[in-house]
Amino acid sequence: MMSAPEITLAIVFQITQLLLVVLAAPLLMGWVNQCQAWLQNRSGAGVLQPYRVLHKLFHKDAVMAHNASWLFGITPYIVFGCMWLAAAIIPIIAVDLPFSQAADVIALVGVFALARIFIALAAMDIGTSFGTLGARREMLVSFLAEPALLMVLFTASMISHSTQLPRIVEALAHHQFVIYPSLAFAGLAFIIVLLAENARIPVDNPSTHLELTMIHEAMILEYSARHLALIEWASSLKLFAYLSIGIALFMPHGIAEVGNWDGLPLALLWLLLKLMLAGAALAILESVMAKMRIFRAPEFLGAAFLLAVLGLLIHFLLGV
């Protein structure tokens, strides 16, 4: 068991991360958008644009459809809460977060599922054609993406003999440098899942309102003002969470030990660098790909699922 000061420190770490993610998530979104703008030879709106958007939305009057039910009203809060929680339990600056004990990787996938189901239900609540279309497509994408993500996490769990994120990161980061071929497969599958789950380009296009392409935007069409702000914020938290998972699994080096105050600034610096890199990579990836037809998406995600399974198999076969 940990001693009392250790626990206090761990809780401080946890609260630090909780605040850090919620404040930094829009910045990450802004960074990705800005990188994209540079790649497309535009000047871009600046990395602070998401904050301005949120500020604007929080100061508007909200409109809800006449037949919106309570489900529609509470969904933004549930989605925001889930995403915040998810982003807060992934060890990115320090290994031992006290709350990570309560929810392991399977529960993490469960948190994402909880948010997704509520947002899909809320999309169906008003009963517009776009809403149900979005909900259907979202579930279509997720029923392949979710098991793929689970398999990716399982590969890491198999390597580290634990489903707890801190243990996984510890095993991957603090031991002697070992190359895991299975993680190569898992990494590729994870990139596909990341693109699909965050409404990114080959699967969804976050910047259009075109019937042929919309998935995520179709679901949140009816939201306005503070509700929309919460959902947008939740989307950026989700992106943050996914990139954090990617960092935790595939480049965990430089993370701080628990109770290591001195390591914290360095760990933060590392994190900033890694997030900037990951965001830029995401922007490049999106810029070089074309949006695919919606019925190619299951094939794309099916490939991710099978790759993740293959990664798990490789782990069994090669023993590493």
Partner 1 sequence: MNVTASSLFQLDVLILAWVALGGAGLILRRSTVAITHLLFPLSALLSLLMAWVAFQSLTNTPEVLVLPLGLPDLPLHQRLDSLSAFFMLLLGVASVGVTLFSSGYFRSMAANVLSLLMLEYHLFLAGMALVLLADDAYMFMVAWEVMALSSYFLVTTEHEKPDIRKAGFLYLLIAHVGAIAILLSFGVMQGGHGIGAYTFDAMRAAELTPYWASVAFLLALFGFGAKAGVLPMHMWLPEAHPAAPSPVSALMSGVMLKTAIYGILRVSFDLLHTQQWWWGVVALTLGLLTAVFGVMFAAVQADMKRLLAYSSIENIGILLVGIGLALIFHVYGKDALAALALTATLYHSLNHACFKSLLFIGTGSILHATGERNMGRMGGLIHHMPWVSVLLLIGALAIAGIPPFNGFVSEWLLLQAFLLSPGLPNSYINMLVPVAAAGIALAAALAAYVMVKFYGVIFLGQPREKILHHAHDAGWPERAGMVWLAGLCIVLGVAPVFVVSQIDHVTQLLVSTSLGNAASDWMFLAPIDTDRASYSPLYFLLAVLGVMGLTVLLVRRLYHGRVRRGAAWDCGFPAQTARMQDTAEGFGQPIRRIFEPFFKMQTHLPTPFDTHPKYEAHTEDRLWYLLYLPVQQLTEKLSGWVSVLQHGRIHLYLTYTFATLVVLLLFV
Partner 2 sequence: MPNAMPYSLQIINLLAALLLLVVFAMLAQRRILSLINLFAWQGALLALSTAIVAWSTAQHHLYYSAALTLVLKVMVLPWLLHRLIRRLNVRWDVETLINIPTTMLVGIALVIFSFNLAAPISQLAEGITRGLIGIALACVLLSLLIMLTRRKAVTQVVAFLSLENSLFFAATSATQGMPLVVEFGIALDVLVATFIFGIFFFQIRETFDSLDITHMEKLKE
Indicate which single residue of 28, 151, 172, 248 sits in contact with partner 1 (rule: CB under 8 A): 151
- Closest contact distance (angstroms) between CB of 244 and partner 1 is 17
Contact assessment for residue 198 and residue 25, using Cβ atoms and an 8 Å cutoff: no
User: Does 188 help bind partner 2 (rule: CB under 8 A)?
Assistant: yes
Contact assessment for residue 190 and residue 246, using Cβ atoms and an 8 Å cutoff: yes
- Closest contact distance (angstroms) between CB of 187 and partner 1 is 17
Restricted to residues 14-53, the positions that interact with partner 1 (CB under 8 A) are none
* Contact partner at residue 312 from partner 1, partner 2, none, CB < 5 to 8 Å by partner kind: partner 1
**Would you give the binding string for partner 1 spanning residues 79-118, x where CB under 8 A is met?**
-xxx-xx-------------x-xxxx-xx--xx-xx-xx-
Task: For the beta carbon of residue 226, count every other beta carbon within 10 angstroms.
Answer: 16
What is the rounded distance in angstroms from the CA atom of residue 188 to the CA atom of residue 304?
7
Task: For the beta carbon of residue 85, count every other beta carbon within 10 angstroms.
Answer: 20
User: Does 185 help bind partner 2 (rule: CB under 8 A)?
Assistant: yes
**Would you give the binding string for partner 1 spanning residues 281-320, x where CB under 8 A is met?**
--------------x--x------x--xx--xx--xx---
Non-local CB neighbours of 135 within 8 Å, separated by 6+ positions: 120, 121, 123, 124, 219
Indicate which single residue of 46, 284, 289, 299 sits in contact with partner 2 (rule: CB under 8 A): 299
- Closest contact distance (angstroms) between CB of 136 and partner 2 is 20
What is the rounded distance in angstroms from the CA atom of residue 30 to the CA atom of residue 275?
12
What is the rounded distance in angstroms from the CA atom of residue 86 to the CA atom of residue 245?
10
At residue 225, φ and ψ (nearest 5 deg) are: 50, -130
Non-local CB neighbours of 2 within 8 Å, separated by 6+ positions: 10
**DSSP secondary-structure letter at 104?**
-
Restricted to residues 157-176, the positions that interact with partner 2 (CB under 8 A) are 175-176
What is the rounded distance in angstroms from the CA atom of residue 109 to the CA atom of residue 165?
12
Whichever of 4 and 179 has its CB closer to partner 2, that residue is 179
Indicate which single residue of 3, 41, 43, 129 sits in contact with partner 1 (rule: CB under 8 A): 129
At residue 42, φ and ψ (nearest 5 deg) are: -105, 165
User: Does 242 help bind partner 1 (rule: CB under 8 A)?
Assistant: no
- Closest contact distance (angstroms) between CB of 79 and partner 1 is 10
Specify the stretch interacting with partner 2 by CB under 8 A; choose among 31-39, 211-219, 264-272, 302-310: 302-310
Whichever of 126 and 304 has its CB closer to partner 2, that residue is 304
Whichever of 89 and 282 has its CB closer to partner 1, that residue is 89
